[in-house]
């Protein structure tokens, strides 16, 4: 139950850490599943735990996943597709329980002040993405990217 609740909140507005220049790393907004798999050079795989926590834009179907590392942080990247099977979001769930350090990195990069258990959201105009962070427990946090409107 907590896992489903966490997924719903994460979908509402989270974003990713890492160094995106536009879109997200090797993935481009609007790609199909097969295009993401090809762009990842096979790292992205079908997600065995697909969940559909539909948001207004339907971009919460986590159909693919891949490991991802940014600096000292390791993540499980989940690629979320809309109802037209086009990539709309990338969710990075932190592995290893360094949520406070991840939040500090994001605050240092995008501004604001750290608030434990609080969702934060930024507009990264340089990368043309929204970036969001949420921490639901000491060892559960995630960041999510999606395209600026």
Q: In this predicted model, what pLDDT tens digit does every residue of 25-76 receive, in sequence order?
A: 999 999 999 999 999 999 999 988 776 655 555 557 889 999 999 999 999 9
pLDDT band of 15, cuts 50, 70, 90: very low
More confident position, 1 or 65: 65
Asked if the model's pLDDT at residue 18 lies above 60, the reply is no
pLDDT of residue 21: 42
Please give the average per-residue pLDDT across 16-30, as a whole number.
69
For the chain, counts of helices (H) and of strands (E): 3, 7
The whole-angstrom separation of Cα 149 and Cα 144 is 15
Phi and psi at 45, nearest 5°, equal -130, 160
CB-based contacts of 135-142 (< 8 A; 24+ apart in sequence):
135/99, 135/103, 136/6, 136/9, 138/97, 138/99, 139/97, 139/99, 140/6, 140/93, 140/99, 141/93, 141/94, 141/99, 141/102, 141/103, 142/10, 142/14, 142/91, 142/92, 142/93, 142/94
What's the pLDDT tens digit per position in 62-121? 899 999 999 999 999 999 998 899 999 999 999 988 998 999 999 999 998 777 667 899
For residue 117, give the DSSP letter.
T
Q: What is the pTM of this model?
A: 0.79
Domain that holds residue 62: 2-147
The predicted structure's pLDDT at residue 48? 84
Q: What is the pLDDT of residue 6?
A: 34
* Beta carbons within 10 angstroms of residue 100's beta carbon: 13
The token pair at 123 is 């507009």
pLDDT value for 134:
87
Residues 6+ apart with CB under 8 A from 49: 62
Domain tally, the chain:
1
């Amino acid at each position: 139950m907590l896992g489903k609740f966490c997924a719903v909140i994460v979908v509402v507005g989270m974003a990713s850490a890492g160094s995106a220049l536009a879109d997200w790393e090797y993935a481009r907004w609007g790609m199909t599943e097969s295009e993401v798999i090809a762009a990842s050079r096979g790292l992205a795989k079908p997600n065995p735990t697909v969940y559909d926590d539909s948001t207004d834009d339907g971009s919460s179907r986590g159909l693919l996943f891949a490991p991802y590392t940014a600096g000292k942080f390791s993540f499980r990247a989940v690629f979320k597709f809309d109802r037209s099977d086009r990539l709309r979001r990338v969710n990075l769930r932190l592995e290893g329980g360094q949520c406070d350090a991840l939040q500090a990195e994001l605050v240092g990069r995008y501004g604001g002040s750290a608030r434990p258990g609080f969702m934060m959201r930024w507009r990264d105009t340089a990368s043309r993405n929204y970036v969001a962070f949420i921490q639901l427990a000491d060892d559960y946090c995630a960041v999510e990217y999606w395209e600026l409107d």
